[in-house]
Amino acid sequence: MATIITDDCINCAACEPECPNTAIYQGDIEYEQDGVKHAALSADFFYIVGDKCTECVGFFDEEACAVVCPVDCCIPDPERPESEELLIERARVLHPETEFAEGFPSRFSEGSGGDSAAVDTAVGDTASADGVAAAPAQAAAPAQVAVASSSGRVEKAVRPGNTVVASGNPGERSEAELGLGYREVVDMAEEPLGGVTSNLRGLGALLLAPLLGALGHGPKAAIEAAVGNRAFFNVQTSTALNVAHNFILYPLLTMGVGLALGARPFTEDDKGWIFIGVVIALLESMARLRQGLRGTPVAEMNMGASLYGFPLGLLVQPLLERLTETGSSGAVPVEGFHGGEFEEKRERQRRYGDVYTVEDLPRGYRIRLELPRVIPPSATRDELGIGDEMPDYDLSVSVQGDSITVKGSVADEKLRAIYGVSSACPADFQTRISLDEPLGGYRQRYSDKLLEIVVLKQAS
């Protein structure tokens, strides 16, 4: 029977990185199967996609999620009894790259329930060819399954967007990495797109600039980034055009009000109303450009919204969302919470490689992945006297098709001893991000526990 998660789940996220089939997803996050995205099966709790769950048959002697769950809410689904034959067949379909040798690990096998087994590893103890999720941190038995190739069908839970991988210890360059400077590759990725679609989008923005300039600074900056060509649209010019536009619009509107109240057109009657419109436009432009009046350079000014900028923003919101889609970000289970506990949660997710952002650039993607910063408190840490600052991980990055995978390993043997006994501290992680387009070369840089990767779109 497949495993299910009951509503006793406390959303601690410990199980998700343990699953060898990437069958576990955070509540309200859509899941992927065979490259197709599906609606989340649970809005509130982590959930398991039954058709991707093999009860860990083929990988471990026990259900890995159940082993780490602190509240024992990963249980067999009584509604779905399944045989070992069916489950290993499912594992073969999910992992076409993997050969499951005779005597594969299984919860059905004699003596199961204790030791876990692992597949051949590419990074430390982590299960895996590309496309296969990280194995539980405590999985330690010798490899029993041969990895035949690197193609895979198992997708990682991601927010809308996609994944990529890089390689090398921090600062090292892999063979697949571009031999250019990081900044140079960023410039290439940021280069505006040519082509009919891009130019049409730019022309549309150019024509609407006097109106779109009424929006707040943030939306305008987002449009500028989405258009990718400042000649077509930029925050400063669109704001200036809108200011000029409002010197026509507001007098016309106030004149309209005057006429509605009985003033006669093109006579002395409506002059006062027109004057009111001009005054409103003048006061508004002074308020919007006040930073410039105080000497702030134009490029650094916050160009605020006009009087109708906010309702206009609501009106064009769907269009803005489409224009400014910027990919995915890693999941931190507690959101909207600030304070020490949130940082602790975030630090924990860093250990799973789950704290990252993906920025969609015109010709590439920029990924920023945060690495753990502190060694969690434990008696072993104190005994070893190694302090609490986390040493740099060994990192590897690889790009395949439209996905990028980052593998991280705790290199220090003393630290691995600590991590080996705690399910909340995996010694290795693997993060695979699927992106929207086939990928080409990439460049990475690492500093201060932040791995940055810029990868070019193949079409570029």
- Binding residue for ligand SF4, selected from 15, 281, 301, 361, defined by CB under 6 A: 15
- CA of residue 313 relative to chain centroid, distance: 25
Distances, alpha carbon 247 to alpha carbons 175, 283, 451, in Å = 59, 11, 49
In which region does residue 171 sit, left (phi positive, over 0), alpha (psi from -120 to 50) or beta (all else)? left
Does position 25 bind ligand SF4 by CB under 6 A?
A: no
* Minimum separation from the CB atom of position 235 to ligand SF4 (A): 42
Phi, psi of 22, rounded to the nearest 5 degrees: 50, 45
**Residue of 431, 260, 309, 266 whose CA lies nearest to 358:** 431
Q: What angle (nearest 5°) sits at the alpha carbon of residue 326, between those of residues 325 and 329? A: 125
Indicate whether 64 belongs to the interface with ligand SF4 (CB under 6 A).
yes
Whole-angstrom Cα distance, residue 423 to residue 271? 76
Q: Which of 17, 25, 48, 352 binds ligand SF4 (CB under 6 A)?
A: 48
CB of 59 to ligand SF4, least distance (A): 7
**Does 145 sit near ligand SF4 (CB under 6 A)?**
no
Which region among 60-68, 110-118, 291-299, 324-332 touches ligand SF4 (by CB under 6 A)?
60-68
Name the residue nearer to ligand SF4 (CB basis): 69 or 455: 69
Do residues 331 and 46 touch, judged by C-beta distance below 8 A?
no
The answer to whether 182 and 443 are in contact (CB under 8 A) is yes
Query: Measured from the CB atom, is 10 or 279 closer to ligand SF4?
Result: 10
Which member of 39, 40, 55, 341 binds ligand SF4 (CB under 6 A)? 55
Nearer to ligand SF4, 349 or 398 (CB): 349
CB of 124 to ligand SF4, least distance (A): 19
Is-contact 162 434, C-beta < 8 A? Answer: yes
Minimum Å gap between C-beta 435 and ligand SF4 is 25
Which amino acid, residue 339? G
Nearest CA to 225 out of 244, 205, 239, 245 is that of: 205
Candidates 71, 140, 248, 298; binder of ligand SF4 (CB under 6 A) is 71
Cβ pair 58, 106 in contact under 8 A: yes
- Decide if residue 453 touches ligand SF4 (CB under 6 A): no
349 binds ligand SF4, rule: CB under 6 A: no
Contact 185, 454 (CB under 8 A): yes
Looking at beta carbons only, is 9 or 399 nearer to ligand SF4?
Answer: 9
Instruction: List contacts with ligand SF4 (CB under 6 A).
Output: 3, 5, 9-15, 18-19, 21, 23-24, 46, 48, 53-56, 63-65, 68-69, 71, 73-74
